[in-house]
């Protein structure tokens, strides 16, 4: 295929041998399958701010500190340089989060690095060696739903222990690889200690997982883990292997209908792109 302009520098520098095909195009980035040293991996090209449809970006940026006093001042003034700094932060946030979460034992794509604003990372595959499907594309038994729900709650706990909250976790950004669920899409990851929206976003992530898996195991609707996690986190008692009861009082977070519709449209476009790639292959 024709090499996208954003990937040409990586090809020129020998970091990528070949651009195989586009894997997806979402609300914040386009992802390509690329060959690198005989191995297939992913190259994520972020869209510019004017082309991103990510909602309420300022809520996610709260608490992020710009490196250097000049950058911090520029960001505060919203100057041209400040906007450029924020864009660079948005792009680098994901690779920083991937390294941080991988070290904490969270199942995420293995990061390779950031080059010219493009994130290189592991291509998560299924048992047939194909790109792994997302959670919304998979049917499961009740027992499988309970197992994966428990796993995802454990992953959210590990993320919180590492000081991060996904902030946009849903069935659309969890892949099902050969070992089970893998969490993706982290440029908006929230600092749990310094963002005033942290608990609201944590509760929404937890609720999204509950609603997703309860379609196959309805009893999961009776669980509530967010308050329990947050109480332990705030008291400094949350541990990666914490055993939670899921029995705290229910916190209802209103569904973000616009965001869900954006995800559905992105998923449709992504499915069409995958099918086109298969047809071309």
Residues forming the active site: 168, 185
3-state secondary structure of 19: strand
Mention every residue, 6+ apart, whose C-beta is less than 8 A from residue 135. Answer: 171, 172, 174, 175, 176, 181, 212
Residue 28, SS3 per DSSP: coil
Tell me how crowded residue 114 is: count the other CB atoms within 10 A of its CB. 18
CA distance 26 to 66: 26
Whole-number Å distance between alpha carbons of 198 and 203:
9
3-state SS assignment for residue 70 = helix
Give the Å distances, CA to CA, from 113 to 83, 151, 275.
23, 27, 28
Cα–Cα distance, 23 to 7 (Å, whole number): 14
The token pair at 246 is 């899921």
**Residue that has been written with the tokens 């089970």 in this structure:** 180
**Alpha helix positions (H), 7-111:** 8-12, 57-61, 69-77, 80-103
The residue among 73, 97, 71, 94 whose CA lies nearest residue 84 is: 71
Q: b/e string for 6-20 if b means 16 or more Cβ within 10 A? A: bbeebeeeebbeebb
Rounded Cα distance between 119 and 108, Å, is: 14
């Amino acid at each position: 295929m024709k090499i996208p302009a954003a990937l040409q520098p990586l090809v020129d520098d020998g970091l990528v041998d070949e651009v195989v095909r586009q894997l997806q195009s979402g609300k914040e980035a386009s992802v390509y399958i690329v060959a690198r040293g005989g191995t297939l991996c992913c190259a994520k090209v972020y869209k510019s701010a004017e082309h991103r449809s990510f909602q309420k970006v300022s809520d996610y940026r709260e608490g992020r500190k710009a490196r250097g006093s000049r950058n911090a001042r520029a960001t505060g003034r919203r100057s041209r340089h400040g906007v450029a700094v924020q864009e660079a932060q948005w792009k680098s946030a994901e690779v920083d989060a991937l390294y941080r979460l991988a070290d904490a034992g969270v199942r995420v794509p293995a990061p390779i690095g950031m080059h010219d604003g493009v994130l290189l990372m592991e291509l998560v595959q299924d048992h047939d060696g194909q790109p792994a499907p997302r959670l919304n594309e998979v049917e499961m038994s009740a027992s499988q739903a309970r197992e994966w729900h428990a796993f995802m709650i454990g992953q959210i706990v590990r993320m919180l222990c590492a000081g991060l909250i996904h902030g946009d976790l849903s069935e659309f950004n969890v892949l099902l690889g050969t070992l089970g669920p893998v969490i993706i899409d982290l440029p908006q990851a929230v600092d749990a200690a310094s963002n005033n929206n942290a608990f609201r976003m944590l509760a929404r992530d937890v609720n999204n997982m509950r609603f997703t898996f309860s379609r196959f195991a309805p009893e999961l609707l009776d669980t509530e883990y967010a308050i329990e996690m947050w109480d332990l986190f705030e008291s400094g008692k949350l541990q990666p292997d914490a055993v939670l009861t899921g029995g705290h009082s229910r916190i209802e977070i209103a569904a973000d209908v616009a965001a869900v519709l954006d995800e559905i449209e992105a998923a449709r476009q992504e499915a069409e792109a995958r099918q086109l790639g298969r047809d071309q292959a």
